[in-house]
């Protein structure tokens, strides 16, 4: 199992290895409005464990170019966790 700690909620959510992080929808306070990289609602800052995430796809890179402002930001709706733990905050 992999896990994602959402700092804003003070809780950690377990997900299967290699999951798309839309898995977090409804399990934490991060909003997933479009689930398609088009709205920016799921943008988070990765505080720890970036190496445990797959590299951004071209689709995610395009969304980040629109909504992202920092190197450690990701759009969780287009982001896959490999394994291990990731800590995020929005």
The answer to whether residue 87 forms part of the interface with ligand FES (CB under 6 A) is no
Least distance (Å) between residue 41 CB and ligand FES: 5
Q: How are beta strands 2-6 and 84-89 bridged, if at all?
A: parallel
The answer to whether residue 68 forms part of the interface with ligand FES (CB under 6 A) is no
The answer to whether residue 62 forms part of the interface with ligand FES (CB under 6 A) is no
Neighbour order of strands in the sheet with 43-48: 11-15, 2-6, 84-89, 43-48, 73-75
4-12, 40-48, 49-57, 82-90 -> range binding ligand FES (CB under 6 A): 40-48
The answer to whether residue 32 forms part of the interface with ligand FES (CB under 6 A) is yes
1-9, 13-21, 29-37, 47-55 -> range binding ligand FES (CB under 6 A): 29-37
Q: Which residue has the tokens 């988070």?
A: 44
Instruction: Quote the CA–CA distance of 44 and 6 in Å, as a whole number.
Output: 9
Neighbours of 72 (CB within 10 A): 13
User: Given the rule CB under 6 A, which residues bind ligand FES?
Assistant: 32-35, 37-42, 63, 75, 77
């Amino acid at each position: 199992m992999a896990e994602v700690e959402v700092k804003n909620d003070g809780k950690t959510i377990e997900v299967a290895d290699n999951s798309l992080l839309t898995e977090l929808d409804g399990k934490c306070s991060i909003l997933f409005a479009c689930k398609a990289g088009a709205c920016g609602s799921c943008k988070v800052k990765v505080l720890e464990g970036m190496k445990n995430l797959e590299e951004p796809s071209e689709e995610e890179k395009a969304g980040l170019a629109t909504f992202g402002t920092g190197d450690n930001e990701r759009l969780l709706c287009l982001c896959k966790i490999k394994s291990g733990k990731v800590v995020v905050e929005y």
